[in-house]
């Protein structure tokens, strides 16, 4: 869900984390990076068309 929201919406990363059950943005970023190998911001930037 987080990946989809990061690539299809303009919501703040903290809002994406909150919608996915992470009230603390730092915790969301840490768990995201642990599972995907990059931060939510890096993921969003890589998904943008060039």
Domains (range + CATH), the chain:
2-47 (1.10.10.60)
Output the six-digit token pair for 17: 């984390």
pLDDT of residue 49: 74
Confidence grade of residue 8 (pLDDT, cut at 50, 70, 90): very high
Confidence grade of residue 43 (pLDDT, cut at 50, 70, 90): very high
pLDDT of residue 50: 63
Q: Is the pLDDT of residue 28 over 70?
A: yes
As a whole number, mean pLDDT of residues 6-24 equals 96
- Which long-range contacts link 44-49 to residues 24+ away (Cβ below 8 Å)? 44/6, 44/7, 44/13, 47/6, 47/7
The interaxial angle of helices 40-47 and 25-36, nearest 10 deg, is 60
Please tell me the total number of residues recorded for the chain in this structure: 50
42 class by beta-carbon count within 10 Å (0-12 exposed, 13-18 middle, 19+ buried): middle
């Amino acid at each position: 869900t987080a990946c989809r929201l990061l690539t299809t919406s303009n919501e703040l990363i903290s809002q994406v984390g909150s919608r996915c059950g992470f009230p603390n943005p730092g915790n969301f970023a840490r768990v995201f990076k642990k599972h995907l190998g990059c931060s939510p911001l890096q993921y969003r930037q890589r998904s943008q068309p060039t």
